[in-house]
Amino acid sequence: GPFRQAPARKGALVDARGVSSIETRRMLLQYAEALCAKRLVLASASPRRREILSNLGLKFDVVVSKFDEDLDKSQFPSAADYAKATATHKALEVANRIEKEEEEGSTPFMIVGSDTVVEAPDGTIMEKPGNDEEAMRMLLSLQGVTHQVHSGVGIVFPDPARPDSKLVKSFAETTRVTFAPLQEAEMRAYIKTGEPFDKAGGYGIQGPAGAFVSSITGCYFNVMGFPVHKFASKLSTMIEEGEVKL
């Protein structure tokens, strides 16, 4: 629908539904204390995801997923669907492993998996570059144009009463990122830092490559690796509607 201005706190961003982002964050913050009393698991080794989630006041145990991330990209209608499926597989692998290994009474409240991919303007799905040449090819295809970053999230809520039944929720978020035109020397210097190699698309917006980005449309944290606004909003709604019990 059309963008409606709604009364909001000074400095609050207002989205199309007239809900300020501060309010959405407060929606989850009112549950943060109750959530901190539960065991929360992050199925990711990414320090960036851990940092983004800890900014919400949530404490997570990190159990790195062993899922191979080898899904056939051609089987998915979009790059966002591919990221969402990979994220869900990561969370389910950890949930199933915890179920087998854990003692009674330590069932997590939820396991969160996430996967971020960069979609080049020609539709190619980019993951992490394997070497300098691959990183250079990725940066060359992104410089001077707008690309999309998709983060998928899969959340598994185990039911301690019924080990075989799990509630699984997944979603994806997309941000459009525009790079300024870059000189080859800049790209080579960036690759030399070693930064591109653990990052989808060969760059991290929160590091030196932030200087390459002339604009973004959408969630900044999504580009970092976790769509925190959408996560907070989805989880709050599930708690409010009684879909999950705190």
The residue type at 179: F
- C-alpha–C-alpha distance, residues 45 and 131, integer Å: 21
115 is known as an active-site residue: yes
Main-chain phi, psi angles of 191, to 5 degrees:
-60, -40
Given 115, 122, 132, 198, the catalytic residue? 115
Strand positions, DSSP E, the chain: 40-42, 61-62, 110-119, 125-126, 146-158, 166-179, 213-217
- C-alpha–C-alpha distance, residues 169 and 125, integer Å: 23
Q: Which tokens go with 244?
A: 């999950």
- C-alpha–C-alpha distance, residues 134 and 128, integer Å: 9
Return the SS3 of 163.
coil
Catalytic residues: 115
